[in-house]
Structure 1
Amino acid sequence: MGTTIIGLIVVAALAMYPVFLYNRLVSLRNRFRNSFAQIDVQLQRRHDLIPNLVESAKAYLTHEQTTLNQVMEARNGAVSAQQEAARDPGESTKIQRLGGAENLLTKALANFYAVAENYPDLKANETIQQLMEELSSTENRVSFARQAYNDEVMTYNTFREQFPNNIIAGFFAFKPVAQLELESPEARQAPRVAF
């Protein structure tokens, strides 16, 4: 009788262990999705500030239309990549595309800042200064949100790859997730605002 009870307990524990693993994978997946939502909010703020900055600078940068167009094209590409990634932050190719698009936007903004250095009236404009300060602050928030997201992705991927978790993860199609990274070391730095 005693061995039967022990046997039933062991069988029940073995049956419940895959349920525990599945639920833990779901929990970790939801955590990295929530972390991505925080990045999404900050990127949206960044993307919303850029048209205001470009519009405010147009009057001063009449001979720099190419620079302004590059910033807006990069911004539009980043918005598109952000929207795709937001639909499924677990899709690695979408996260990698978002990282690349944000990298291009950061480079375009760095070029804008370099051009703006040559226009004293632009640097003295209060609206431009405020927008650039808000943009710089938002860049910092994006960096913090990206770090939190990458930490959650690492936790999820590590748990997913451990044995016997990898068996349950494979059976229920829990895919690996890419971290959100920028392509170049220069792009990892927040844009420099020198007014």
Structure 2
Amino acid sequence: MTASLSTDIINKLKEQDAHALSQMYRAYVTDIWQFAYYRTFRNHDAADELTSTIFLAVVTSIHRFDPKQASFETWLYTIARNKIADHLRKHYRNKNRNIVPIHTTPHPAFEPQHQQTLEETELITVTLENLTPQEQQILLWKYKHKLTIKQIAEKLNRTNKAAENLIYRARARFKHHYNRLDKTSPYITTENRHD
């Protein structure tokens, strides 16, 4: 995960400055592509398409970004999640809780023995969408990007103790929503749950 963009760069982004746009793109393109790739079940073409769509949305809506409401990264990943959700609704169907791409031939990952993994991936995605943007970002920093509490605290401009409390609350809310959704799953049993 890259460092947050400076206020100066963000102001230049709002002015559609080409150099600032290039800096922003280079800083986040790899993370955004990977984010889209894993949320579309490792679909390279979808990740490529979504990355372009996400950055286009960022450029066209940057004037609405308010640093008082959220960090740039939180705002960026909110756009990314929304665009990915739109893509999944458009290109995937959910039949008997088995997610199958409409536009591709069957892949080994969609065979019955892999349905539990797909179901859990779906549960995690839906669970994250039940959290606030800040909670989602904190969990991504902690578990996907492996940032330390100190690094997270610096990104949030909080003390280490405050960041630790935010991580604890985000994790607790994730577990609450996950377990609530998990009860409806025909694939994941009590033994499979990750407490």
**TM-score calculated relative to the size of structure 1:** 0.28
| Higher share of residues assigned strand | 2
- Higher radius of gyration, 1 or 2: 1
